Amino acid sequence: MSAISDAQTELEKVQLEEVLATILVTELESLKEVATAMIPIDRRPSQRFWEAQESIQQVSVLRACLMVFVLSLGKAVPRDFQLEALLGSLGNKDVIVSSGTGSGKTLVMTMLMLLHPMDVSLVIVPLKRLQKSQLEAFTRYQIPAVVINEDTPDDKELWKVSMYFTFTMIYYLYFVVEN
């Protein structure tokens, strides 16, 4: 029974990866149709926000909304402030999100990582509790992540993974400070 369950889980993972890859290449009109069919109207970006965006920004907004909606099993949709921060970052602007604990700042980083799955992101977080929370969030959205701090073992086997990857550029550098 376990082998069947493992095979089913693997198939679901492959299908989900295909859905996410399709979202990343789908054009605006098709994205609109899918988002309209999937995301409840009261959870979509506001009309005011939507109308203020150009077509290229609308594509990024819909891709992010659909990816978050699919990966959260319909539980989450980005809010306007998160999408504004996303578009600022995608537009090569420095973005500061000042918002309360638990309000969704991590989702902004998550959306950037989902929209650029081949990029390497470095997140600098001063609190271990927040490191753990963000690691859990990234894992929930199927983003491979690792926490490195003074508790990380000094084990050569652990670091061998770096031999298999070439890190030539870090696209996003986040500083997360909690008061």
| Tens digits of residue pLDDT in 44-97 | 999 999 999 999 999 999 999 999 999 999 999 999 999 999 999 999 999 999
What is the model's pTM? 0.82
Q: Which of 37, 35, 38 is nearest to 50 (CA)?
A: 35
For residues 48 and 38, give the distance between their C-alpha atoms in angstroms, rounded to a whole number: 21
For residues 96 and 10, give the distance between their C-alpha atoms in angstroms, rounded to a whole number: 38
